[in-house]
Structure 1
Amino acid sequence: MARPKSEDKRNAILAAATQVIAEQGLGAPTARIAKVAGVAEGTLFTYFESKDVLLNELYLSIKADMREVMMAAYPTAASMQARARHVWQMYVDWGVAFPDKRRAVAQLAVSDRLSESTRAAGMRAFADVNEMVQASTASGVLRDLPPAFVAAIMGSLADTTMEFIERDRAQAERYRNAGFEAFWNAVAKP
């Protein structure tokens, strides 16, 4: 009879994969991930049948963590600008607090190792934000841009903001505010 799987081991493997991928990229060997997790490589494959399964589950795990942080206390009744600022602030704070997760998910997002169903599930996690963008575009608050393009602008400017905060934490608030202002001016109708 097979032993039941441990949630702690699964989480340790995901945490190790995050760290190793952030450091070495997607080509990092599973043996290294297993070593950092403190498990045998065979154990890694007990939890994830292949490296691609591991990468897909890691992507969804990081996206779920990101969504949980970004949407905590989301001000649904606030103005579009206030809601966008909330999402921005929470995303930047998450990225600064978890640089390995940010780097790993960025590599995963451009990888051909993610399945289309994984990508779709990752997008569904942010359906609230996409609906907000579409409604704001329809009402004339935002420029008529596809939600994915708005998200890409936000992601690029947020990455720049996070990098500057990591270099000079004393200026974090200044960079966070300047980054949001640049984002808002790029997507809001004048």
Structure 2
Amino acid sequence: MARPKSEDKRNAILAAAIQVIDAQGIGAPTAKIAKAAGVAEGTLFTYFASKDELLNQLYLELKMELRDVMASHFPRTGSIRERAQHVWNAYVDWGVAQPHRRKVMTMLGASHLVTDASKAAGMEAFADVNATIHEAFTSGVLRNHPPAFVSAIMGSIAETTMDFIAREPQQHGQYRNTGFEVFWHAVAAP
């Protein structure tokens, strides 16, 4: 009879995957991930049928973590700008506090090994953010840019902002606010 799966072991494997992928990239062998998790490689495959499944689950876990951070105290009744700034601040603060997770999530998001279904599920988790974006476009608050383009602009400016905060943590608030202003002026309708 098979032993029940342990949530602790699953979490240890995911945490080890972050550590190993951060250091070695997505091509890191599962044997290294298993070793870092303190489990046999066969145990890793008890929890994840393949390395691709592990990568997809890790991507979704990281997306859900970020969603939870953004959802905390989300100002549902605030202006579009207030909601956008909340999302920005949460993303930047999470990225600065979790640089390894941010790096791995970025690598996974760009990888062909993460399925379109996983990427879609990751986006669906951001209902409040997506609703705000939709409202911003339909109300004319944002320029008429494709949503994916606006998201890419936000990501690029946020990455630059996080990099500067990492180099000069004493300027965290200034860089975070300046980064948001640059983003907002790039996408908001005049």
The answer to whether structure 1 residue 91 and structure 2 residue 96 are counterparts is no
The answer to whether structure 1 residue 12 and structure 2 residue 28 are counterparts is no
| 1:57 alignment partner in structure 2 | 57
Residue 65 of structure 1 aligns with an amino acid whose one-letter code is E
| 1:40 alignment partner in structure 2 | 40
The answer to whether structure 1 residue 124 and structure 2 residue 134 are counterparts is no
Q: 1 CA distance for matches of 2:127 and 2:143?
A: 19
Residue 104 of structure 1 aligns with an amino acid whose one-letter code is V
The answer to whether structure 1 residue 100 and structure 2 residue 103 are counterparts is no
Contact 1:85–1:180 under 8 Å retained in 2: yes
| 2:188 alignment partner in structure 1 | 188
| 1:138 alignment partner in structure 2 | 138
State percent identity of aligned pairs: 62
Task: Map Cα deviations across residues 21-80 of structure 1 (whole Å, 9 max, x no partner).
Answer: 111110011111111111111111110010000000000000000000011110011111
Residue 182 of structure 1 aligns with an amino acid whose one-letter code is V
**Residue 112 of structure 1, CA deviation:** 0.5
Question: Could you list the runs of 4 or more consecutive aligned residues of structure 1 that deviate by over 2 angstroms after TM superposition?
Answer: none
**Residue 88 of structure 1, CA deviation:** 0.4
| 1:172 alignment partner in structure 2 | 172
Q: 1 CA distance for matches of 2:101 and 2:149?
A: 22
| Closer, same or farther: CA 18–94 of 1 in aligned 2, 3 Å | same
| 1:30 alignment partner in structure 2 | 30
**Residue 11 of structure 1, CA deviation:** 0.2
Task: Map Cα deviations across residues 55-114 of structure 1 (whole Å, 9 max, x no partner).
Answer: 000000000000000111100111111110000000101011111110001000010001
Q: Counterpart of 2:143 in 1: which secondary structure?
A: coil
Q: 1 CA distance for matches of 2:176 and 2:85?
A: 10
Q: Aligned residues, how many?
A: 190
Contact 1:141–1:189 under 8 Å retained in 2: yes
Residue 21 of structure 1 aligns with an amino acid whose one-letter code is I
Residue 165 of structure 1 aligns with an amino acid whose one-letter code is I
The normalised TM-score by structure 2 is: 0.98
Q: 2 CA distance for matches of 1:39 and 1:127?
A: 36
Uncovered stretches (5+) of structure 2, i.e. residues with no partner: none
Residue 81 of structure 1 aligns with an amino acid whose one-letter code is R
The normalised TM-score by structure 1 is: 0.98
The answer to whether structure 1 residue 147 and structure 2 residue 141 are counterparts is no
**Residue 15 of structure 1, CA deviation:** 0.6
**Residue 128 of structure 1, CA deviation:** 2.1
